[in-house]
Amino acid sequence: MSEAFESEAVVPHSTAEAEVCWDGLPPAPLTLEGAAVLHQVVRLRRDAWRAAGSVVRRRAAEQAAEWLARAEASGDGQSAVYALLGAKGDLLWVHYRPDFTALHRAQCELAGLPLFDYLEAVWSFLSVVELGLYESTVKLWRDLAARGVRPHSPEWQAEVERLKSRQRQAMLPRLFPRIPDSRWICFYPMNRRRGERKNFYRTPLPARRDMMREHGETGRRFADRVRQVISGSIGLDDWEWGVDLFADDPLAFKQLVYEMRFDEASADYADFGPFYLGMRCRPADLASWVEGFAPAARGEGG
């Protein structure tokens, strides 16, 4: 699931592709990386919070709301916070930043707020926005193989860089997205199976391309109801990808994920982590939330 719903242009199968021997060609599709992403799940230490006194609580909530208001409106990476349903945590902080240095700065600023003296870290997830170039990679590998260009040679690398540069310019808004202004978020991490019977990474690249194409087609049927941001975490955290889904109706998450379970990429090759469902908590709502009141009702339409 390393491609967004608005995937690359679909390249039809061709006789040339069928004639290419994929042995010896790089098995990994090219990827583009964008914004650095951090998800933080925290729990309010309510006993300590209540014991702090009303003046201390009010000032701590005000300072956190001021920080959040600046971070929501920033044009150079954003933050948002969601009030979680269920027992996995109380708040989900989501940060998108242009790079990991800026992401670390946001984490430090947030940790320095008085409110965080009363918040306990439960879980976190570090990743980077990723777009998988399955269609473009298969086409490029096929063309280079037909021309006899040796993998990883200088000529090969030059063609790869040209492709990535062209795609990066075309996909810049998706690589550095704004956090959608939706009422609800569903976030979950996931892996691709690499066991004895089913190993996604041992599947030929064209077959993986076809699976991701099918997966993207399912997602695009929900594009008017659900916004998706995929972030890659291989080498960065304990799972391989993180999935942010944004919608004004939380039932859309259930319907989308349910239908995707029937895609080959999910049915045969996906392992899912915990799912987190949260309601957007605006800066004006934060003080009320930490005092035990739900975010202001705006209706399921946001």
Residue 32 CA from chain centroid, whole number: 13
Check residue 147 and give left, alpha or beta (phi > 0: left; psi -120 to 50: alpha). alpha
CB 178 within 8 A of CB 35: no
CB 97 within 8 A of CB 109: no
Selecting among 96, 188, 269, 276, the annotated active-site residue is 188
Token output for 203: 């599947």
Q: Output 194-203 pairs: Cβ under 8 A, ≥24 positions apart.
A: 198/268, 198/269, 200/269, 201/27, 203/269
CB 280 within 8 A of CB 183: yes
Q: Output 53-62 pairs: Cβ under 8 A, ≥24 positions apart.
A: 56/114, 57/290, 57/291, 58/287, 59/114, 60/113, 60/114, 60/115, 60/117, 60/118, 60/290, 61/115, 61/286, 61/287, 61/290, 61/291, 62/287
Is 276 considered catalytic here?
A: no
Count helices and strands (H / E) in the chain: 11, 9
CB 203 within 8 A of CB 120: no
The count of C-alpha atoms lying within 13 angstroms of the C-alpha of 249, restricted to the half-sphere facing its C-beta, is 8
* Residues designated as active site: 188
